[in-house]
Amino acid sequence: MISLALTHIADVLRGDLLLAGTDTPATRVDGVVDTDSRLMAPGGIFVAKRGEETDGHLYVAAAVEKGAVLAIVEHPVDVPVTQIVVADAVDALADLARDVVARVRARGSLRVVGITGSNGKTTTKNLLARILEGEGETVAARASFNNEVGAPLTMLRVTETTRFLVSEFGASSPGEIARLAGLVEPDVSVVLMVGMAHAGGFGDVETTQKAKSELVHALRRGGIAILNVDDPRVAAMAPVAAEREGSVRWFGQGDRADVRASRIEVDPAGTSSALTVDGVDLPLRLRVLGAHHVMNALAAIAAATALGVAAADCVARLETVELAERWRMQPLGNDRVRIINDAYNASPDSMAAALRTLAQITAPEERMVAVLGAMSELGEYAGEEHDRIGLLAVRLGIQRIVVVGADARRLFLAAVGEGSWDGEAVFFLTADEAHDYLLGELRDGDRVIVKSSNSAGLRHLGDRLGESFA
């Protein structure tokens, strides 16, 4: 974080400053800000957030042992460290992030990019960060830091010399993106797609669309919206950008796209396509598997070129990316038994994309194996969407469908009903049972996809399989 006086922080947070040791109101702090005491470093600022299972106030002492010099708390704690007592620690975190970003922006050339969408946020964020790092100091969210805590923590990592801040914005209910993006007013707002992910929280896809459009509403006046021309619900957000006196830069496969891809091909070594960026043709060869990642790359290129990066530099940097993120189309295993662990998250769209990728990278003499778990947060749509994935797996000709977990049973039943009744589809209640089965079942020439929502826990099963066949 940038250097700030204790009294200034207290004023921004509307809190009471309780000094300790030799600190004075003018004492300045500039250390890492975090809600996890284990991640504290000397000079750090610990935010004592109350959680569902624990209370950050219990860990103030541990944070101080790690080097914290300031604690933001909701009530005084009997620990020898300067404290700022606030009404709500999460709100205070947001207020501090807003102030820090505004101050850096006012002093220098900081440009802010916001990214949202039902799928692909983290991958696109990582791809864009890789491009922008070649231009100057870039701060981007760690992993999927995109909620009311993660997003402000990312913002607070900016320094006086940061040129680019890439923020990822997720939401499980209306208003969340508006609140988080409103902290920074992005210069560039990227909307990837509107799908069924989190439909259970929003109620329907139309409400999801409205929630994602909040990022365009938050656009800084005169900013640029990066929109998916192939998704009608995203394309319909263009008038919102006009309301912000902004412009639209399109990406996709449609003819209107400023950044367009064609001839997309996937093989075991990666994904290739022909790009056209503002009328200039360029080849792209990604090491990341999956045709859907080409769309993420297009969005990253559209955003980066809007910020002045040359298209050729964008492509050259993207072609160095070997892994978009752990547990996202992560290749494991060996040449004989290849495991693709894509079980960090799942929606109907990403599940279908993963299965199609498996079909594309498997040679005729090889065998496709899909290890599938539940897709969460689908609400009333859960049954029919699991049915749809079970049907797709059979229609793609996947020879072995391994379904894991009670919440995914309907996917298994749909596969059986579609024709996998001769042992092609099997069901296990636990990942341990599935692991034991797969150790005896997998053979040379198998290509395996492991896919589920985070809550299903299959990412750890994927890791175990990767280790077993390393």
Residues near 450 by Cβ (< 8 Å), separated by ≥ 6?
A: 339, 340, 341, 342, 343, 371, 458, 459, 461, 462, 465
Q: How many CA within 13 A on the CB side of residue 395?
A: 9
Span 421-466, pLDDT tens digits = 677 899 999 999 999 999 999 999 999 999 999 888 899 999 999 9
The single-letter code of the amino acid at 387 is D
Span 357-374, pLDDT tens digits = 999 999 999 999 999 999
Average pLDDT of the chain is 93
pLDDT at 264: 95
Domain boundaries, the chain: 4-88, 108-318, 330-468
Q: Is the predicted pLDDT of residue 418 greater than 90, yes or no?
A: no
CATH class of 4-88: alpha beta
pLDDT at 290: 87
pLDDT at 49: 94
For residue 419, name the pLDDT band (cuts at 50, 70, 90). Answer: confident
Span 302-315, pLDDT tens digits = 999 999 999 999 99
pLDDT at 421: 60
Q: Is the predicted pLDDT of residue 198 greater than 60, yes or no?
A: no
Q: Is the predicted pLDDT of residue 195 greater than 80, yes or no?
A: no
pLDDT at 156: 97
* Calpha distance 254→274 (Å, rounded): 13
Higher pLDDT, 355 or 422: 355
The fraction of the chain above a pLDDT of 90, given in percent, is 81
pLDDT at 172: 75
Tokens of 29: 């702090």
pLDDT at 420: 64
Q: Where are the beta strands (DSSP E) in 126-269?
A: 138-140, 164-168, 188-191, 224-228, 247-252, 259-267
For residue 58, name the pLDDT band (cuts at 50, 70, 90). Answer: very high
Please report which residue ranges of 275-377 form alpha helices under DSSP H. 292-306, 311-318, 348-361
CATH topology of domain 330-468: Protein-Tyrosine Phosphatase; Chain A (3.90.190)
Beta-bridged to residue 113, according to DSSP, are 166, 188
For residue 380, name the pLDDT band (cuts at 50, 70, 90). Answer: confident
Span 388-417, pLDDT tens digits = 999 999 999 999 999 999 999 999 999 998
For residue 329, name the pLDDT band (cuts at 50, 70, 90). Answer: confident
pLDDT at 13: 98
* Chain-centre distance for alpha carbon 20: 39
pLDDT at 200: 54
Give the CATH number of domain 108-318; options: 3.40.1190.10, 3.30.420.10, 3.30.470.20, 3.20.10.10.
Answer: 3.40.1190.10
pLDDT at 191: 97
pLDDT at 204: 75
Span 108-159, pLDDT tens digits = 889 999 999 988 898 999 999 999 999 999 999 886 678 899 999 999 999 9
Give the predicted TM-score (pTM) of the model: 0.86
Residues near 314 by Cβ (< 8 Å), separated by ≥ 6?
A: 131, 277, 300, 301, 304, 305
